[in-house]
Amino acid sequence: MKNIVILISGSGSNMAAIVQAAQQRQWAQRFGVRIAAVVSNRPDAAGLEWAQAQGIEVSVLDHTAYASREDFDAALQALLDAYDPVLVVLAGFMRILSAGFVQHFAGRLINIHPSLLPAFGGLHTHQRAIDMGCQFAGATVHQVTAELDHGPILAQAVVPVLPGDTAERLAARVLSQEHRLYPTAIEGWLSRTRSA
């Protein structure tokens, strides 16, 4: 059985959507993979409790305990390598990863971003889309490269920006699409890598 490891920093709603999809769509039988662990850089991440209740191993690696980004990334890399992951999934993991870490997991590190990349990389995506008068927003699943919020796009979901939208209302609609998009994109990645 090959391992997928999910990294979170908060509530883990995308992580939960992925775990549920893995169970419902029988990833173990179809692709020979399992969600082996959920790792957070924040001890208070609410998603850890949910994952543990599903019988998934959880680990906390508090980034504030490390002197530098590189030190934290080295410890995280060592932790992940113990699982020999076929795929590392960033699901609301709010850390910019060092180039060395990204290179180590190149081709098996993916992220979801709440915009239609390449538009609106970085933070405050929903407010920026509204401020620019965009008619559409959305979410993007992409492979992670050393350049922030770049890398080959695996899947996107489009969400209309409605008249009078606030960043909060738009974010909630985008998030509901993320929960559908991310598991589907992972499934596509697993299908392609299995047949490659």
Catalytic residues: 113
Tens of pLDDT, residues 12-55: 999 999 999 999 999 999 999 999 999 999 999 999 999 999 99
> Own/partner pairs for 143-148, CB < 8 Å, 24+ apart?
143/107, 143/109, 143/110, 144/90, 144/97, 144/102, 144/105, 144/109, 144/110, 144/111, 145/102, 145/106, 146/99, 146/102, 146/103, 148/96, 148/121, 148/122
Tens of pLDDT, residues 155-181: 999 999 999 999 999 999 999 999 999
Domains and CATH numbers, the chain: 2-195 (3.40.50.170)
Q: What is the pTM of this model?
A: 0.96
